[in-house]
Amino acid sequence: MTYAAGRHFLQIPGPTNVPDPVLRAMSAPTIDHRGPEFQGLALELLHDIRPVFGTTNPVIIYPATGTGAWEAALRNTLSAGDAVLSFETGHFATLWQEMARGLGLEVDFVPGDWRHGADPGVVAERLAADTARRIKAVCVVHNETSTGVVSRIPEIRAAIDAAEHPALLLVDTISSLGSIDYRHDEWGVDVTVAGSQKGLMLPPGMSFNAVSDKALAASRDAGLRSTFFDWSPMLAANERGFFPYTPNTNLLYGLREALRLLYDEGLPNVFARHARHAEATRAAVRGWGLEVLCLDEREHSGSLTAVLVPDGVDADKIRGVVLDRFDMSLGAGLGRLAGKVFRIGHLGSFNDLTLAGTLAGVQMGLNLSGVPAGPAGMEAALERLQAD
């Protein structure tokens, strides 16, 4: 590899750029995870992590990627043969339901066009029709990272309540937590699944379950429980500031620092910053004469924008040009969107000029790839950033 001056632009929707203070915090020596210093750190973190989820209930921390926290959510609340309702909002929703099927759950996977969120009307319909109360959980991906579409969780909760249905609500916030407004308690979510490497600005390798009292009650007789993901020994050890097995100590140092950064800025400001950068990005996309994948104005993602490329153009070729020429990584189209979209990640440690640099790289990359974009996209984005 030849030396590349300046910072690489890691504008994929996770892993995201890790801020310098977080990198520095993680470089501290690893300590005894059964000693008093660790105990102090864990007790502090297990308390301080709750506000980012919008909960006062326990949050479980796993040394696993987001996929592990998906599995934990299912294993701790469900039994083989239970029915689950989920929505084909995109690639990640598809993977989660495949996992559910693999675990022996019976999944009603409502088809979707990958351009809309989960439909609260369909939740209402399916639950009303389930008079035998066979559906034990509704699984929704809050921010579908493959499409840049956000599902409206409060409306889905309202549909469950209106049907007076006892199903649990399990929500994947892996690419929304710490970037897009989210409230575990207020929205009545039973299990919130999250990961370290997106809005929390940490490296990959750590994931979370925030749990409601109802989810904890369901976990007592969940037949899919497994040793590694079991909530109960975890919660018992956590009470005392410890973990049942070795935690990822240095990621926890990073988490402490990342939470400090988020809380110093203030969560409402963090969410507003992301929403504003997403707006400026959409202005750029339209200025280039391209289409944003998300079709519903209420469902645009604050953390990433998926951009449709014209027919006959390979989105991966544009990504390749942008990487070669400008040292920037953009997100690839996943699953059925492979080659048809590229994704601009604008989440995490990110400011106006990082966005401007990102969009400049995309605009030049489009022009160099034979997709004449002209200057209007950048102009529109800068105007939006300048406005307020």
Binding site residues, ligand PLP, CB under 6 A? 14, 65-67, 92, 141, 145, 172, 174-175, 195, 204
Provide the minimum distance between the beta carbon of 199 and ligand PLP in the complex, in angstroms, as a whole number. 10
Q: Which is nearer to ligand PLP, 242 or 342 (CB)?
A: 342
Q: Is there a contact between 219 and 213 (Cβ–Cβ < 8 Å)?
A: no
Strand-pair category, 328-332 with 341-345? antiparallel
Q: Which is nearer to ligand PLP, 182 or 242 (CB)?
A: 182
DSSP one-letter string for 278-302: HHHHHHHHHHTT-EES---GGGB-S
Q: Which is nearer to ligand PLP, 198 or 225 (CB)?
A: 198
Q: Which is nearer to ligand PLP, 14 or 377 (CB)?
A: 14
Candidates 271, 237, 268; CA nearest to 46 is 237
Q: Is there a contact between 77 and 191 (Cβ–Cβ < 8 Å)?
A: yes
Q: Which is nearer to ligand PLP, 123 or 141 (CB)?
A: 141
Looking at beta carbons, which residue is closest to ligand PLP? Answer: 66
Q: Is 181 helix (H, G, I), strand (E, B) or coil?
A: coil
Q: Is there a contact between 282 and 296 (Cβ–Cβ < 8 Å)?
A: no
Provide the minimum distance between the beta carbon of 325 and ligand PLP in the complex, in angstroms, as a whole number. 27
Rg of the chain over all Cα atoms, to the nearest angstrom: 21
Provide the minimum distance between the beta carbon of 361 and ligand PLP in the complex, in angstroms, as a whole number. 22
Q: Which is nearer to ligand PLP, 92 or 288 (CB)?
A: 92
Provide the minimum distance between the beta carbon of 91 and ligand PLP in the complex, in angstroms, as a whole number. 9
Q: Is 329 helix (H, G, I), strand (E, B) or coil?
A: strand
Neighbours of 1 (CB within 10 A): 3
Candidates 133, 182, 125; CA nearest to 159 is 125
Provide the minimum distance between the beta carbon of 153 and ligand PLP in the complex, in angstroms, as a whole number. 13
Q: Which is nearer to ligand PLP, 120 or 195 (CB)?
A: 195
And the tokens for 59? Answer: 């949050």
Q: Is there a contact between 66 and 202 (Cβ–Cβ < 8 Å)?
A: no
Q: Which is nearer to ligand PLP, 65 or 329 (CB)?
A: 65
Beta bridge partners of 252: none
Calculated CA dihedral for residues 200, 202, 204, 210, nearest 10 degrees: -40
Q: Which is nearer to ligand PLP, 65 or 250 (CB)?
A: 65
Rounded to whole angstroms, the Cα distance separating 270 from 260 reads: 12
First-to-last alpha carbon distance for the chain, in angstroms, is 41
Provide the minimum distance between the beta carbon of 363 and ligand PLP in the complex, in angstroms, as a whole number. 26
Rounded to whole angstroms, the Cα distance separating 271 from 181 reads: 6
Provide the minimum distance between the beta carbon of 303 and ligand PLP in the complex, in angstroms, as a whole number. 9
Provide the minimum distance between the beta carbon of 92 and ligand PLP in the complex, in angstroms, as a whole number. 4
- What 8-state DSSP symbol labels residue 18? P
Provide the minimum distance between the beta carbon of 69 and ligand PLP in the complex, in angstroms, as a whole number. 8
